[in-house]
């Protein structure tokens, strides 16, 4: 008996499929596992969470740059405010209070804008005026002595930190607003795609019911709504059982439909 025939007989006796068949079965299992993993990775909440994490990273980096820039300007502002006062005298010590006074107001405005931009609520004109005034005051106090001395290098050195803070303070507000829109867009795009759960391998449990999507929750809220109901995130959660984060978006969309007299069927 040839060695090849003996090998085939041993494989047949063991009950295991030959090499190519085993490879195909293994690839089929890996393909099914990859499809399952991708199904979870493309879930609307997962996609939106990725953008939320990026927004958090952007916030932290911008805040670090702003705080470091304001810390750099503190010594210059103190020297400007102290003038010729003797070191450790009362006027010299009081001069250290000037920069924190301006910086704390600026940080309070930026912190408030962080929250309003998170929910895309527009602020009034006085908010921007106050922000610009604090930034302009910081810039003037940092560069005044360099302008008086006619030192171009001093002007450049003391202009960069306050101008960087100014640009970052303006940019971070727009970035937060656009990143919030990106979160909503990513969620809606992922939710609008037909997401059929991949077929399970024979050794796995049966496929569970299809995951509820945004429009499913919205249809439930439409059916539950009546003219005497005040649409709110809490009410949406009560009638649909959706998450807290999704309820705000559902309430916003349904409220817009009701306000415009849209079809709720």
pLDDT tens, residue by residue, 201-232:
544 444 445 567 787 888 888 888 888 888 98
**CA 118 from centre of chain:** 8
At 96 the pLDDT is: 93
Q: Are both 217 and 142 inside the same structural domain?
A: no
Q: Are both 86 and 172 inside the same structural domain?
A: yes
Each residue's pLDDT tens digit, 83-134 = 889 989 999 999 999 989 998 998 999 889 878 877 778 888 999 899 899 9
Q: Are both 74 and 158 inside the same structural domain?
A: yes
Q: Are both 51 and 81 inside the same structural domain?
A: yes
Residue finishing a domain among 192, 220, 249: 192
Q: Are both 61 and 168 inside the same structural domain?
A: yes
The top-scoring range by mean pLDDT among 30-34, 185-189, 194-198 is 30-34
Q: Are both 90 and 158 inside the same structural domain?
A: yes
Each residue's pLDDT tens digit, 161-179 = 889 888 888 888 788 778 7
Q: Are both 134 and 218 inside the same structural domain?
A: no
pLDDT for 238 beyond 60: yes
Q: Are both 188 and 218 inside the same structural domain?
A: no
At 88 the pLDDT is: 92
At 153 the pLDDT is: 92
Q: Are both 183 and 223 inside the same structural domain?
A: no
Q: Are both 112 and 219 inside the same structural domain?
A: no
Distance CA 27, CA 30 (A): 5
Q: What's the whole-number mean pLDDT along residues 260-265?
A: 57
Q: Report if residue 130 sits inside a domain.
A: yes
Sign of the dihedral through C-alpha 250, 252, 253, 254: positive
Q: Report if residue 17 sits inside a domain.
A: no
Burial (CB count within 10 angstroms: exposed 0-12, middle 13-18, buried 19+), residue 213: middle
**Range of the structural domain that residue 244 is part of:** 212-265
At 252 the pLDDT is: 86
At 203 the pLDDT is: 46
Domain count, the chain: 2
């Amino acid at each position: 008996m040839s060695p090849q025939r003996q090998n085939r007989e041993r494989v047949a006796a063991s009950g295991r499929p030959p090499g190519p068949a085993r490879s195909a079965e293994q690839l089929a299992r890996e393909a099914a596992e990859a499809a399952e993993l991708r199904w979870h990775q493309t879930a609307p909440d997962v996609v939106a969470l990725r953008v939320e994490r990026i927004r958090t990273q952007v916030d932290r980096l911008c805040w670090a740059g702003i705080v470091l820039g304001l810390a750099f300007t503190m010594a210059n502002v103190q020297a400007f405010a102290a003038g010729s006062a003797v070191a450790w005298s009362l006027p010299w010590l009081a001069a250290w209070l000037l920069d924190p006074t301006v910086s704390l107001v600026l940080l309070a405005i930026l912190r408030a804008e962080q929250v309003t931009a998170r929910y895309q609520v527009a602020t009034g004109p006085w908010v921007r005026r106050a922000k610009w005034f604090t930034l302009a005051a910081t810039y003037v106090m940092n560069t005044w002595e360099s302008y008086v001395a006619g030192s171009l290098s001093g002007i450049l050195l003391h202009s960069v930190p306050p101008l960087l803070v100014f640009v970052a303070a303006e940019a971070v507000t727009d970035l937060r607003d656009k990143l919030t829109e990106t979160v909503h867009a990513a969620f809606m795009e992922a939710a609008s795609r037909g997401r059929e759960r991949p077929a399970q391998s024979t050794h796995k449990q049966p496929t569970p019911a299809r995951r509820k999507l945004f429009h499913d929750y919205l249809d439930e809220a439409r059916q539950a709504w009546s003219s005497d109901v005040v649409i709110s995130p809490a009410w949406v959660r009560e009638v649909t059982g959706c998450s807290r984060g999704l309820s705000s978006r559902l309430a916003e969309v349904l409220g817009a439909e009701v306000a415009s007299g849209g079809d709720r069927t």
